[in-house]
Structure 1
Amino acid sequence: MKNYINLTIFSLGIVLFVCGCQVEETQGPYGSDGEAPGPVALEYVINKPGGAVIYYTPPTDVDVLYIKASFNDDRGRAREVKVSQVIDSIVIEGFGKIGDYKITLNAVDRGENISEPTVVDISPLTPPLQLIFPTLAGEVDFGGIKVSYENPLQSEVSLNVVVFDESRDDFVYRESFFTSQASGTYSFRGYDAVKTQFGVYVEDRWENVSDTIYFEVTPIPDDFLDKSLFSVFKIQRDKDFNDYGFNEAQMWDSRWADQWNCGHTNFLTNLPHYLTVNLGTAAKLSRFKMYQRGGSELYKHGNPKRFNVYGVLDVNSLPPYDSNNPNAGWTLLRECESFKPSGLPIGQTNAEDYEFQNKGEDFDFDVDNLVEIKYIRIEVLENWGGINGTVIGELSFWGEISQ
């Protein structure tokens, strides 16, 4: 009996081994016929700035999985683009120079069998960064330079700043600004009020770079006001920014992009809402940043959208408060409107919106009409959420501080 059992187990093992080998030998990719698909048939090409769109007819093989485009770009880098077999075109992007380039199309099936190549000639038009570069213009600004640009194709690019470093006898990279706006300006700041050589160039997401425009300026003095000196100066009918567990001091604690760190009013009174701040020192203000309440509240809720900024040096010089003219005696420094880079509807944001607000939204004062002040008054006329509430994430001020 023992010998019989051993023989049976041995025989069963042989059967399983043979079956396993047969399964392994016949197993293959599901749905693949094991043969290479037919070639891709070219229809036509539409050349675009920095690339092209290739239209084609895919092969009729039922197991085709995708169409692949292979090519070397203008810098000799090997690249591939893949699209589903149900799509009749493929977009080629990322060329930094105009010229003639060859693209190889292949159909690939479920078994990774590759068709015979179809070679296509494309001639990309002037790439976006080369269209942007001639429009760059720089001018002196508070604490740095202001750069303007035109980006008619609304391409995703960065404006990059280099500064001459005497210790290295060369220009060194300092910072970047990312944008997809059709046009705009951006201020690069944080530089001393000494003659400085700046350079600006454009870079796209494929690491193509333009030439560099150079200029030499002396930034306008732009001292940062010490936030530890800030305090609320309550005037009749000013809103309390301490509601719902928030604290007014959170508006100048050097923290932002956090929806739980802000000044917050109640929802009981209609706009306009007023906030008056004692800056603790007299200064000719050059600019300020307002940071929105961040997190999931960005560009909605009570974040200010349209507001005015007033200033006065001595509150004792103000006339008696008049509810019909609550800003009597104050100097209007700036009418402000918050900007949303994406332009998306309320409740929708993208990475560019967060990047923009994380740096703080800049508002400059008129360089030809700078006024010495010590108290700031913010009048919120409209918020992004259209509600009876105001939230402010952070406030920062710069200027020429009085000695």
Structure 2
Amino acid sequence: MKRFHILLCTILTAFFACKQDQLKPISGDKTPPNPIMNPTVIGMAGAAEISYSLPDDQNLSYVRAEFEINGVKKEAKSSYFKRSVRVEGFGDTAEHTVTLYAVSRAEVASSPVQVRVKPLPPAIWKVYKSLDVAEAFGGLQVKFSNEDRGKIVIVTLLYDPAAKEWRNVNNFYYGLDSGRFTVRGLQPVKQQFGIYIKDRWDNKSDTLRFELTPIYEEELDKSKFMSAMKKKYPIPQVAPLPKTPGVKIVEPGNLSSWPIDNMWNGIIGNEGYHTTENKDVPVWIPIDLGVKAVISRYKIWQRQAAYIYNHGNPHEWELWGTNTPTDVNSWVKLDHQIMEKPSGLPLGQNSNEDIDAAAAGQEYELPVGTPAVRYIAWKHIDSWAAVDGIIGHLHISEIAIWGQIKK
């Protein structure tokens, strides 16, 4: 017991001594270092890179840059291994003063050296000037470029004439060189909208104001969907679906606990429709929508949990449609897609962004001019675990379809 007590005291003493040491400067030498020399400035988008020569001082730890953005004091640091420091977050192209200090291991600063920096236009303004807005089914679509790859937020506003105020309807976060997004769920009447760009330093662009009328659409009633494979009418189970020359169309079938009706039962998770396995591809899955409609868009949810972007979840497919399913020549291709993983990571590796996208469902919009159809057929080309393979299977947790119902 005595030996244990001594050992415990030794460990505690060492722990608290280390913890206390971490709060102290690395050195006790209070001599201030010499200042940095020969500063030069290169303006960048919303930022500036300041290069300099370091003093010959063995006690030097880092260089600190102090500046202000929108009246708020900011600082940036760079270790003595580097010969430059980056100051960023400027929302304009005016000249700004940056004060540089060489700082010792004892946290003693040198005399200040001031430089003037003139940033280039920040990313928010380039994105703002690139905005391209158009009406879309159920809302509006925004396209833009972001050549500086700034971490931006595109904020969409809708004017409420009753309350006489603007309200936020969508925030889109982005950091790549170009992109687009669609705001949905808006009434098909002329409305006034606004869009502005902001960054993580709360710099904001002007607000682009415009009027447009979202295109009418509604979600098709899933209770009217019917499985042609189950009903065997009016779409035959195999032929005469559109044929690929030299390729046999096989009956997909389903695992007993994964019937096709699960694909539109409103439940998203580790269940859904699952074909039988080891099928030659392509596999055709015909569905009666119950109504004739111009399909504007559809959303699919993968089988969730460990199966996302893997196993039998769809990777490449086509969507076909017709109003006379018994006529093999009446089928037209409505869409062709290859699912993309947001992160671009290889099979079996998923980022948080990948997981969130799979949970939210992947949405695909059909072009304007798509014909109205009542019967569709999903042509399964390959799954994530059998990319470019000749055999495989398919599972989908849920599908939802929007469009304009026609008589």
TM-score higher than 0.5 here?
A: yes
Q: Distance in 2 between matches of 1:71 and 1:296?
A: 47
User: What is the match of residue 268 of structure 1?
Assistant: 278
Write the distance in 2 (CA, Å) between the matches of 1:240 and 1:288. Answer: 23
Say yes or no: does 1:378 pair with 2:386: no
Counterpart position of 2:367: 366
SS in 1 for 2:205: strand
Unaligned runs of 5+ in 2: 1-19, 230-236, 239-249
Name the SS for the 2:34 alignment partner: coil
- The corresponding residue for 1:13 is none
Deviations 1:25-50, CA, capped at 9 Å, x for gaps: xx954444243333233442221111
C-alpha deviation, 1:381, in angstroms: 2.0
Moved more, 378-387 or 219-228: 378-387
Q: CA separation of 1:109/1:128 partners in 2, compared to 1, >3 Å: closer, same or farther? A: same
**Higher mean displacement: 168-177 or 247-256:** 247-256
What secondary structure does 2:281 align onto?
A: coil
Q: Which residue of the partner structure matches residue 48 of structure 2? A: 52
Alignment of 1:163-202 (within 5 A): 163-202=158-197
* Deviation per residue, 1:173-228 (Å, 9 max, x gap): 11122223322332111111111112222222222221122221221111012334
Gap change, CA 1:348 and 1:312, over 3 Å in 2: same
Shift of residue 342 of structure 1?
Answer: 4.3
Give 3-state SS (helix, strand or coil) of 1:211's partner. Answer: coil
Alpha-carbon distance in structure 2 between the residues aligned to 1:41 and 1:250: 70
Q: Paired residue for 1:394?
A: 398
Q: What CA distance in whole angstroms lies between the structure 2 residues aligned with 1:214 and 1:144?
A: 15
Tell me the alpha carbon deviations over residues 274-308 of structure 1, each in whole angstroms, 9 at most, x when there is no partner. Answer: 33333344422211122344555544444433321
| 1:255, distance to aligned residue in structure 2 (A) | 5.2
Higher-Rg member (1/2): 1
Q: Distance in 2 between matches of 1:178 and 1:297?
A: 26
Q: Which moved more, 1:159-168 or 1:331-340?
A: 331-340
SS at match of 2:128: helix
- The Cα of 1:131 is off from its aligned counterpart by 0.9
- Distance in 1, matches of 2:106 and 2:338, equals 57
Mark the runs of 5 or more structure 1 residues left unpaired by the alignment: 1-23, 320-326
Shift of 1:229: 4.1
CA contact (8 A) 2:292 2:372 kept: no
**What pairs up with 1:6-85 in 2 under 5 angstroms?**
29-73=25-69, 75-85=70-80
CA RMSD of aligned residues (A): 3.0
From 260, 264, 272, the equivalent of 1:252 is 264
User: Cα–Cα, structure 1 residues 230 and 115, in superposed 2: closer, same or farther, change >3 Å?
Assistant: farther
Among all aligned residue pairs of Structure 1 and Structure 2, give the percentage whose two residues are the same amino acid: 31
Q: Secondary structure at the match of 1:210?
A: coil
CA distance in structure 1 between the aligned counterparts of 2:57 and 2:304, rounded to whole angstroms? 52
Alignment of 1:2-401 (within 5 A): 29-73=25-69, 75-234=70-229, 235-236=237-238, 237-240=250-253, 242=255, 248-254=260-266, 256=268, 260-265=270-275, 267-295=277-305, 297-313=307-323, 317-319=325-327, 329-354=330-355, 356-373=357-374, 375-385=375-385, 386=387, 388-401=392-405
Please state how far the C-alpha of 1:143 moved relative to its aligned partner. 0.6
Q: Partner amino acid for 1:252? A: W
State how far apart, in whole Å, the 2-side matches of 1:91 and 1:298 are.
39
CA distance in 1, matches of 2:306, 2:52: 43
Using the size of structure 1 for normalisation, the TM-score is 0.79
Name the aligned partner's letter for residue 338 of structure 1: M
Q: Is the 8 A contact 1:108 1:114 kept in 2?
A: yes
Task: State the Cα deviation string for residues 90-135 of structure 1 (Å, max 9, x = none).
Answer: 2222211111111122233443322322222211101111111111
Q: How far did residue 232 of structure 1 move?
A: 3.6
Instruction: Write the letter of the residue equivalent to 1:33.
Output: D
Q: Distance in 2 between matches of 1:171 and 1:401?
A: 32
Specify the code of the residue in structure 2 equivalent to 1:307.
W
2-structure distance, mates of 1:152, 1:33: 47
Equivalent residues of 2:39, 2:115 under 8 A apart: no
Distance change (3 Å), C-alpha of 1:242 and 1:72? farther
Contact 1:342 1:353 in 2 (8 A): yes
SS at 1:158 equivalent: strand
- With over 3 angstroms needed to count, the CA separation of the structure-2 counterparts of 1:214 and 1:254, relative to structure 1, is farther
Range that drifts further, 103-112 or 392-401? 103-112
Quote the Cα distance in structure 1 between the aligned partners of 2:145 and 2:171. Answer: 16
Structure 1 72/134 Cα, relative in aligned 2: closer, same or farther at 3 Å? Answer: same
Q: Which SS does the other structure have where 1:209 is aligned?
A: coil
